[in-house]
């Protein structure tokens, strides 16, 4: 069994992988100390983490503030309720994830905050021109970030904010190919999961930035097949299969440049 588990005074969060019997034992052990955990299951053909970590943190996710204490029952909508409320008038759907996550999949009609890290969400909530009287439906991957983001939205004066219980992963388990379009980014070797929560067959990890990539190319240095993201593909030196090849290519170009100058 491998994975990453975070433990803080506000709760526990993590993603682990292992054989079905081991996962069953793990759930039983953890549930003794943390009853009522919202488990989200998906599958893979092999271990998707390289090692095992348990880390003690002061908080599970960003937006560190004493007044932003998550609650387990704060305006949650089940996937069924989410589908219904999405159709109501004067409703805004808000994605609380980072830009590289929203690029590969979002709920239809959702607002993209275009943040690079979750800690930037506070600035978004302060400066957004979204009407504060409208009903805001907020979601993220598994629902964890929304537990704190919803409190930040309320702090900034939004009056009717709701979050998707269990996030995208819980929604896709019940409603694949309905309101959510594309794939869902996950923080492990699968890179993303498709509408049926299967490991992505479309995206790979970009060797230069670690974001999801889907542009196939032949490495400019060693000619090996590679996949990079569209942002890195814009830089010619990053049309390489590894950071090492990128470095070697830069050396070759620098050498040629010096020879021309000489």
Question: Which residue numbers are catalytic?
Answer: 140
Phi, psi angle pair for 13, to nearest 5°: -150, 150
- CB atoms near residue 178 (< 10 Å): 14
Pair type for strands 52-56 and 105-107: unpaired
Give the Cα separation of 45 and 35 in Å (integer): 29
Per-residue tokens: 77:
């909508």
Give the Cα separation of 66 and 78 in Å (integer): 28
- CB atoms near residue 64 (< 10 Å): 11
Angle value at C-alpha 126, between 124 and 130, nearest 5 degrees: 75
State the burial class of residue 56 (Cβ atoms within 10 Å of its Cβ: 0-12, 13-18, 19+).
Answer: exposed
Per-residue tokens: 116:
């690079």
Give the Cα separation of 227 and 120 in Å (integer): 29
């Amino acid at each position: 069994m491998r994975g990453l588990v975070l433990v803080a005074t506000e709760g526990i969060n993590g993603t682990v992988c292992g054989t079905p019997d081991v996962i069953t034992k793990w759930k039983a052990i953890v549930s003794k100390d943390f009853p009522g955990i919202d488990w989200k299951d998906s599958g893979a053909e092999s271990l998707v983490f390289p090692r095992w970590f348990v880390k003690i943190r002061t908080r599970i996710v960003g937006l560190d503030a004493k007044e932003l204490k998550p609650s387990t029952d704060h305006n949650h909508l089940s996937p069924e309720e989410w589908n219904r409320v999405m159709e109501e008038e004067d409703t805004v759907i808000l994605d609380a994830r980072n830009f590289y996550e929203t690029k590969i999949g979002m709920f239809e009609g959702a607002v993209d905050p275009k943040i690079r890290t979750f800690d930037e969400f506070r600035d978004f909530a302060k400066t957004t021109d979204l009407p504060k009287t409208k009903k805001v439906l907020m979601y993220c991957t598994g629902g964890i970030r929304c537990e704190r983001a919803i409190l930040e939205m309320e702090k900034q004066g939004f009056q009717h904010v709701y979050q998707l219980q269990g996030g995208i992963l819980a929604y896709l388990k019940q409603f694949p190919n309905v309101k959510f379009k594309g794939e869902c980014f996950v923080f492990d070797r699968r890179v993303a999961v498709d509408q049926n929560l299967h490991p992505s067959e479309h995206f790979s990890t970009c060797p230069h930035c670690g974001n999801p990539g889907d542009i196939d190319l032949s490495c400019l240095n060693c000619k090996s097949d590679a996949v990079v993201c569209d942002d890195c593909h814009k830089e010619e030196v990053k049309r390489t299969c590894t950071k090492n090849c990128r470095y070697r290519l830069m050396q070759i170009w620098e050498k040629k440049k010096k020879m021309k100058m000489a």
